[in-house]
A = this chain, B = another copy of it.
Amino acid sequence: MQRGIVRLVLVGIEGEINLGFIARLAANFKVDEFYLVAPRASPDSQEARRFAANGSYMLDKAIVVENLDEALRGVDIAACTSAKIGQRSDVIRHAVSAREFAEEIAPRYTRIGIVFGRESVGLTRDELTKCNLLVHIPANPEYPVLNLSHAVGIVLYELWQSLHVVELHEKAPEKQLSYIYEKLEPLIDLVVDKERSQHVKAAIKHILWKSKITSGEASALYYFAKKLRRLVEECVKRC
């Protein structure tokens, strides 16, 4: 499936620290297009630059427009966001969770727009109606309102996870696990009586095969098993 293009839209952003932090997040999660609708904080301010750190190039790339319609031109799906969701009858504020949006909905579209409102009052109801759906981050019902930049971070993170294959380390191939086990098996036979050895062997195999061991972890374990076996064999010979 084609990886979607993500357009981040901030409506009326007020704080320069937030703007800077969001530019950094846009770089951390490789946002393709960055739109600012009538921003009150300046992308050229020192504060914004400072908090953007190595993401300050996103502030240069930002496209400033006057209203939300302009910012949504050309997207296949526009998702507004809100910390406030509605009661049963307030359908304009019926939302999907950020997870559901990122995992189930966004991958079906090529140009994905995600819209965040002002720190003080969020998005107006009129702005909400311009989106195809509403996205909400579930949190503590006693205090669900995240700072704007943290909400942006979570949604961009969710989209990144969903649009990229995440594998941090090469997993140990079956062969490597077998090698480790083969080094250990004679040691088990040596020190555990026959009756219990079946259990010890099963335990070790279960642990090796279910632990999602990385190849590097497997190498370290194999090295230990090899050294241990050598020591034990020498010991036994000498006795």
Residues of A in contact with B (beta carbons under 8 Å apart)? 17, 21, 24-25, 27-30, 51, 53-55, 85-91, 94-97, 99, 136-140, 142-147, 149-150, 153-154, 157, 160-161, 164, 166, 168-170, 212, 214-217, 219-220
Contact = CB atoms under 8 A, between A and B. Distances in A.
A28 B89 CA distance: 26
Contacts of A153: 146, 150, 153-154
A88 B172 CA distance: 11
Contacts of A95: 168-169
B138 A88 contact: no
B150 A137 contact: no
A35 B215 CA distance: 34
25 contacts: A24-B150, A25-B146, A25-B147, A28-B143, A28-B146, A28-B150, A29-B139, A29-B140, A54-B143, A55-B143, A85-B168, A88-B170, A88-B219, A89-B220, A91-B220, A94-B216, A94-B217, A95-B169, A96-B212, A99-B166, A138-B166, A138-B168, A140-B160, A153-B153, A154-B157
A25 B150 contact: yes
This protein's copies in its complex = 2
Contacts of A138: 160-161, 164, 166, 168
Contact of A88 (B97, B160, B166, B216): B216
Given A138-B161, A140-B29, A86 B150 contact: no
Contact of A28 (B28, B53, B54, B145): B145
Contacts of A149: 150
A25 B217 CA distance: 34
Given A86-B216, A216-B91, A219-B89, A53 B168 contact: no
A90 B214 CA distance: 11
Given A24-B150, A94-B168, A139-B160, 4 more contacts: A17-B17, A88-B219, A89-B219, A94-B216
Nearest to A144: B28
Given A17-B17, A166-B138, A217 B143 contact: no
A88 to B, nearest CB: 4
